[in-house]
Structure 1
Amino acid sequence: MVARSVYFENAVGRVWEEPLHYLRLDYYAAPREEVAFRALLTHALHALVRRGWGKMLIDQRKMAPYSDAERAWMLDEWLPRAIREGGYRYGAVVLAENPFARVSMTRLSLAARELGNTYKTFDTEADAAAWLTQAVVAR
């Protein structure tokens, strides 16, 4: 089996290319600076375009809540581009331990439905990966 490889990493998190044809985005527990946050997601977009997979596992277990500015940028700029340019359609989210971060993700996922992206949340990484590699393929 082919090993996963790191596509990009900075102080906010890491983007992996998974051998089962999806991207993985791991958020770190450290406080986020807006420039580094945007860089991480911009590189994730580049990887979506490069690979054409349209699926991402987002591990938010250690993540702090999104700020209003981060959420607005994601909804107004990043997500529309990721859908249009990268074919991004499915996000499997491993829920944050922080309850405020969970609420923040819920708000984002509800707004993202209008753009044609589907987020599904999971308590475990295994369940998230199974949905991306099995359930999504069946659609």
Structure 2
Amino acid sequence: MPLAPPQLYFENAVGRLYGHPDGYAIIQFNAGQRKFSELQRLYTQLRWLLELHRWHRFLNDQRLLDPYNPEEAAWIVNH
């Protein structure tokens, strides 16, 4: 029996957010510069997806992601 593929839930310039049928989320980041507000939006959508499905796990594919700047890192830690 073929496995169901992850479903795209949200996409913006920073990356894509998928919901996997096995009960977790996947974030795939795009390469290049990003706006802080778009990063916030992607992570906020992740939080909503996890809460909606009562999931507690996600995979974070950061291979193309530039390092977080101090403002981004502080926001992620606090939210």
Coarse TM-score class (shorter-chain normalised)? over 0.9
Of 37, 62, 65, the match for 1:63? 65
1:52 is matched with 54
Choose between structure 1 and 2 for higher RCO, CA contacts under 8 A separated by at least 6 residues: 2
Structure 1 Cα separation of the partners of residues 71 and 6 of structure 2 = 32
Q: Which amino acid aligns with 1:44?
A: L
| Local SS of the residue matching 2:65 | coil
1:51 shift after superposition: 1.0
Q: Compare the two structures and name the one with the higher helix fraction.
A: 1
Residue 42 of structure 2 is aligned with which of 15, 40, 65?
Answer: 40
Match of 1:7 among 9, 13, 38: 9
Provide the secondary structure at the position in 1 that maps to 2:22. coil
Which amino acid in 2 is paired with 1:7? Y
In the alignment, what sits opposite 2:77?
75
* Displaced runs of 4 or more, over 2 A: none
TM-score, normalised with respect to structure 2: 0.92
Q: Distance in 2 between matches of 1:40 and 1:68?
A: 18
RMSD between aligned residues: 0.8
**TM-score with structure 1 length normalisation?**
0.54
The unaligned stretches of length 5 or more in structure 2 are: none
Checking the alignment, whether the CA contact within 8 Å between 1:11 and 1:30 is kept in structure 2 is no
Specify the alignment match of 1:28 in structure 2: 30
Which one has a bigger Cα radius of gyration?
Answer: 1
How is 1:111-126 mapped onto 2 (pairs within 5 angstroms)? none
